[in-house]
Structure 1
Amino acid sequence: MLDPRLAKDTIAAIATPPGDGGVGIVRISGSRSREIAEELFRAAKPAFTGLVPYRLHYGHILDSDGVELDDVLCAFMPGPKSVTGEDVVEINCHGGRAVLAAVLQEALDRGARLAERGEFTYRAFMNGRMDLSQAEAVAEMIHAPTKAAMHLAQVKLSGVLGAKIADLRARLEHLRAQLTVAVDFPDDEVECLAPEELIATSAEVRTEIDGLLAAVDRTRAWREGALAVLAGPVNAGKSSLMNALLGRTRAIVTDQPGTTRDYLEETVNLDGLTIRLADTAGMRRTDDVIEAAGLEMGRELMDRADLVLLLADGTLPLSDETLATAGSLDAAKTLVVLNKSDLATFDAKLGQPLADLGLEVMDVSAKTGARIDALCSRVRERILKGAGQPDPDEIAPNARQAAVLDEAAEELLGLEQDTAAGIPYDLLGVRLETACSTLSGITGEIASADVLNSIFDAFCIGK
């Protein structure tokens, strides 16, 4: 948990992912960062007199006994124009785990403290280098599953969401000022705020909030990836289809029914869209406790899925389990895959009862790969539901921000209803004040310690 009382400490951490690599970075931030770095660093040039800001210096890191640990590039960035708003030093080492750990330990031995999760970004937020929405965008950039998700995070990192929220708040604060005047000077006809104007302004802001909330659903698949669940009776070819979609063998394929007892999950990228494929246990009546639990788990996955791929054997009449499952599924989230089109006994008409239920039906051969590319394209289209690529300037709030926006919108709707009902202006001011303070939770002007800790604790150490 981040403690504001420790904000004066000089902190250090490895800023690159764990593992072996060509380059690794040890980052130091705080008032003693330059002092600590210059104790560790010996420049290759004899004329070196100290770290010059914004310049890479080549040299070596020495341990306390004067033994060389690594040859490095060292950069010093003085505050407040640094990533954290404090003096920052970054030591570019070779990326071996032992090397980075040794360099970090030397920094700690000379007075730095090991950084907490997200503490570098937290300090950037506390020092005014970014607002809370930008800090969250840093984490979203790190975890972006696709290039589109990365771009959506970059838009927020640029400060567009913070600026939008600031504009909405400014309009509501202006409305609050007018409301205050109307309460304090009720007989002043020039300054009096008409109820119709109050309702109209609130509705305009709420409409813009609703637009931001609409972007949450519109971009969710790009930001978080989507879940596609393979369901169907035993031996319909779910595992074979999963392997065909992945382009490699992942699920075990046998003639023995019930091979998949619970579910397997793998990730596939369909033209920039990340999709989690879940291969569930084959649907059938069973007295096996473990298999029954797997079937129940599959049912729960289907309920949560963005798209259910309901498989059927195109050489056999539809089973009662398949028809029952099809009847319980949402047609908008279901795509029927009639498998085994490579066999002579395949009959596309066997899927007609499912088409009669309003379900889209496609025939494929998981074994030969026939029409698998067409299926991939259709899966992508169905999951995106016409959303297409995100707009270059799309502002896509995350789940926390969406909850805050929804709360503010509810408060404004209540304000409009109370105004229409003739509630006194002084009471309406409470509604406006609540809406304003709620919106400030997105950018962090008003945010509890619990909220801040929950956000920054999700970061990795070193960021």
Structure 2
Amino acid sequence: MTTIAAIATPPGHGGIGIVRVSGALAKNLLARIFLPFSPYFENFHPWRMHRGRILDTTGEALDDALAVYMPGPRTFTGEDMAELHCHGGTLIVQNALKSLLRLGARMAERGEFSRRAFINGRMDLSQAEAVAEMISAPTPEDLRYSLNRLDGLLGRRTQALRESLETLRAQLCLAVDFSEDEVEALTPRDIARVVEDVARQIRQLLTGTKRASLMREGALIVLTGAVNAGKSSLLNALLGRSRALVTDIAGTTRDFLEESCVVDGLPVRLVDTAGLRTDNRGDLHPDFPLNSVETMGITVSRNKINEADAVVLVLDGARLGKEGACAATCPDATALEVLRQTKPLLLVWNKCDICAPAHLPPLWANTLPCRVVSALTGEHIDELARDIRRLVLNDAQAPQPPDGIAPNVRQAHALEQALAELEELVADIHSGQTLDCCAVRLDTAAAHLGEVTGISCTEHVLDTVFSQFCIGK
């Protein structure tokens, strides 16, 4: 393989900028670009930092920096590697990289360092993916799942399951090839027992998929309710900053406003929507009649409710009054529309600083969760954040994954395919299918398990995975 180089630190200014090199020419390139300060320096001592000058191809000094040489195979990529630790100015690291490229290195492609680590057996594909996932982890919980995958927990578990299937397949093939000889053969019940045990363990691995997806991708939470109920104020309160325009004028929010944030450790996309109205002529708000723009905004609001993972129905406590919680049906006509939809729903009685409900939860709310808040003063906003997290995770039936192992989307798809093949295999066994047909299904299931660690991945899959990495990783 050619020797590659890239900047490993993010763009912009910082305390340190790192340029990394991997390949057979790593040490040679380092010697040509680095002039050590020490008069006693004779050669690069492996894994030791040396201080000196970085030089360009003309011998001009670029920076006072540190350099380290790391011989393979016990490196990240499994190859000889070198790193320059420069001052973190954009020009400095770019010039250092240019010098390495002029001396014979090639610019690394996206994820090429990690891809070489995979190719050279330093990590399996699930571990390589975890490198990028750790860097972009939005929450501590997602970071923990990524770290567990980097440690090889998922890879070792799926590899053990794959080996169980391979062993069973070998026994089946032996029974087929030597059916007339005195070879101890597995009974259909023995085969089914092994297959069902592997299937059970795959289901266990898939337990954390939904939760891991929510922790990485986030949930879409739509704030809805009547005009002037305080949806925009509530958005600002949850964000901890003023993002949405707030006025006393009905219909201030004409279009949806989406912001990403972390609510009690759960990444979410909060959507503030135009206030709902049930009166086409604006009879409920005679001073602010409906117009075509606001009508379009209300249509968008309803569409967003249909797209939501969960809905927060904001009630105007000041308008409902203390006794509004004691009625048999909700006095807010716009709320009735939202109450009829089937999305996970959380009621929020807003403006409790003006009027608190006489009964909590409201009698008409039945078993729906409800939280009393004041978006203006911030009262009970922290409790509301916990309610939102609980609503999303409970409805999604997203328990904590066992042993902290949570596959990502690609890995979960491979596991689901393996599971489907094993379930078909159990059905084939009970229907009396021949052993050679069973062996084919075992082979397919094992191949799907191999996709998790990259044993049986195509080049296209590898290209897709590593194209999502940054260039220096």
TM-score (norm: length of structure 2): 0.90
Question: Any conservation in 2 of the 1:180–1:429 contact (CA below 8 Å)?
Answer: yes
1:96 and 2:89 correspond: yes
**Offset at residue 340 of structure 1 (A):** 1.3
Residue identity opposite 1:359 in structure 2: L
Alpha-carbon distance between aligned partners in 1 of 2:292 and 2:90, rounded to the nearest angstrom = 46
Alpha-carbon distance between aligned partners in 2 of 1:288 and 1:142, rounded to the nearest angstrom = 47
State the match for 2:394 in structure 1.
385
The equivalences for 1:303-342 within 5 A come to 303-317=306-320, 318-330=331-343, 333-342=344-353
Equivalent residue in structure 2 for 1:360, among 359, 363, 369: 369
Alpha-carbon distance between aligned partners in 2 of 1:397 and 1:299, rounded to the nearest angstrom = 34
State the match for 1:404 in structure 2.
414
Alpha-carbon distance between aligned partners in 2 of 1:95 and 1:293, rounded to the nearest angstrom = 50
Equivalent residue in structure 2 for 1:148, among 141, 154, 164: 141
Q: Tell me: CA distance 1:407–1:250, structure 2 relative to 1, closer, same or farther (3 Å).
A: same
The equivalences for 1:89-168 within 5 A come to 89-168=82-161
Which secondary structure state, in structure 1, belongs to the residue aligned with residue 254 of structure 2?
coil
Equivalent residue in structure 2 for 1:432, among 442, 465, 468: 442
Alpha-carbon distance between aligned partners in 2 of 1:289 and 1:459, rounded to the nearest angstrom = 45
Alpha-carbon distance between aligned partners in 1 of 2:448 and 2:265, rounded to the nearest angstrom = 35
Deviating more after overlay: 172-181 vs 392-401: 392-401
Q: Tell me: CA distance 1:114–1:224, structure 2 relative to 1, closer, same or farther (3 Å).
A: same
Question: Any conservation in 2 of the 1:122–1:456 contact (CA below 8 Å)?
Answer: yes
Alpha-carbon distance between aligned partners in 2 of 1:290 and 1:12, rounded to the nearest angstrom = 54
Alpha-carbon distance between aligned partners in 2 of 1:134 and 1:352, rounded to the nearest angstrom = 50
Residue identity opposite 1:71 in structure 2: D
Structure 1's consecutive aligned runs of 4 or more residues displaced over 6 angstroms after TM superposition are: 386-389
The equivalences for 1:259-278 within 5 A come to 259-278=252-271
Alpha-carbon distance between aligned partners in 2 of 1:405 and 1:419, rounded to the nearest angstrom = 21
Alpha-carbon distance between aligned partners in 1 of 2:299 and 2:44, rounded to the nearest angstrom = 63
Question: Any conservation in 2 of the 1:348–1:363 contact (CA below 8 Å)?
Answer: no
Question: Any conservation in 2 of the 1:415–1:431 contact (CA below 8 Å)?
Answer: yes
1:416 and 2:426 correspond: yes
Question: Any conservation in 1 of the 2:208–2:401 contact (CA below 8 Å)?
Answer: no
Question: Any conservation in 2 of the 1:13–1:114 contact (CA below 8 Å)?
Answer: yes
State the match for 2:469 in structure 1.
459
Q: Tell me: CA distance 1:431–1:294, structure 2 relative to 1, closer, same or farther (3 Å).
A: farther
Which secondary structure state, in structure 1, belongs to the residue aligned with residue 208 of structure 2?
helix
Alpha-carbon distance between aligned partners in 1 of 2:341 and 2:439, rounded to the nearest angstrom = 49
Question: Any conservation in 2 of the 1:314–1:348 contact (CA below 8 Å)?
Answer: no
Which secondary structure state, in structure 2, belongs to the residue aligned with residue 19 of structure 1?
coil
Q: Tell me: CA distance 1:449–1:290, structure 2 relative to 1, closer, same or farther (3 Å).
A: farther
The equivalences for 1:166-205 within 5 A come to 166-188=159-181, 190-205=183-198
Which secondary structure state, in structure 2, belongs to the residue aligned with residue 38 of structure 1?
helix
Equivalent residue in structure 2 for 1:235, among 219, 224, 228: 228
**Offset at residue 146 of structure 1 (A):** 1.6
Equivalent residue in structure 2 for 1:250, among 243, 248, 253: 243
Question: Any conservation in 2 of the 1:314–1:350 contact (CA below 8 Å)?
Answer: no
Which secondary structure state, in structure 2, belongs to the residue aligned with residue 393 of structure 1?
helix
Which secondary structure state, in structure 1, belongs to the residue aligned with residue 470 of structure 2?
coil
Identity %: 47
State the match for 2:354 in structure 1.
343
Q: Tell me: CA distance 1:442–1:295, structure 2 relative to 1, closer, same or farther (3 Å).
A: farther
Question: Any conservation in 1 of the 2:126–2:150 contact (CA below 8 Å)?
Answer: yes
**Offset at residue 321 of structure 1 (A):** 2.8
Question: Any conservation in 1 of the 2:221–2:271 contact (CA below 8 Å)?
Answer: yes
The equivalences for 1:77-92 within 5 A come to 77-92=70-85
Alpha-carbon distance between aligned partners in 2 of 1:228 and 1:416, rounded to the nearest angstrom = 41
Q: Tell me: CA distance 1:223–1:188, structure 2 relative to 1, closer, same or farther (3 Å).
A: farther
1:373 and 2:386 correspond: no
TM-score (norm: length of structure 1): 0.92
State the match for 1:5 in structure 2.
none
Alpha-carbon distance between aligned partners in 2 of 1:123 and 1:184, rounded to the nearest angstrom = 40
Question: Any conservation in 2 of the 1:354–1:361 contact (CA below 8 Å)?
Answer: no
Residue identity opposite 2:31 in structure 1: E
1:47 and 2:58 correspond: no
Alpha-carbon distance between aligned partners in 2 of 1:312 and 1:81, rounded to the nearest angstrom = 61
Deviating more after overlay: 211-220 vs 129-138: 211-220
Alpha-carbon distance between aligned partners in 1 of 2:150 and 2:409, rounded to the nearest angstrom = 16
State the match for 1:3 in structure 2.
none
Question: Any conservation in 1 of the 2:204–2:402 contact (CA below 8 Å)?
Answer: no
Alignment length (residue pairs): 452
State the match for 2:328 in structure 1.
none
Segments of 5+ residues of structure 1 without an aligned counterpart are: 1-7
Residue identity opposite 1:212 in structure 2: L
Question: Any conservation in 2 of the 1:216–1:398 contact (CA below 8 Å)?
Answer: yes
**Offset at residue 233 of structure 1 (A):** 2.0
Residue identity opposite 1:46 in structure 2: P
State the match for 1:221 in structure 2.
214
1:71 and 2:64 correspond: yes
Residue identity opposite 1:425 in structure 2: L
**Offset at residue 224 of structure 1 (A):** 3.5
Alpha-carbon distance between aligned partners in 1 of 2:258 and 2:21, rounded to the nearest angstrom = 40
**Offset at residue 39 of structure 1 (A):** 0.8
- Per-residue CA deviations over 1:350-383 (Å, capped at 9, x if unaligned) read 9736503x32222211112222222122223333
Residue identity opposite 1:161 in structure 2: L
**Offset at residue 295 of structure 1 (A):** 4.1
CA RMSD of superposed structures (Å): 2.3
Segments of 5+ residues of structure 2 without an aligned counterpart are: 281-289, 321-330
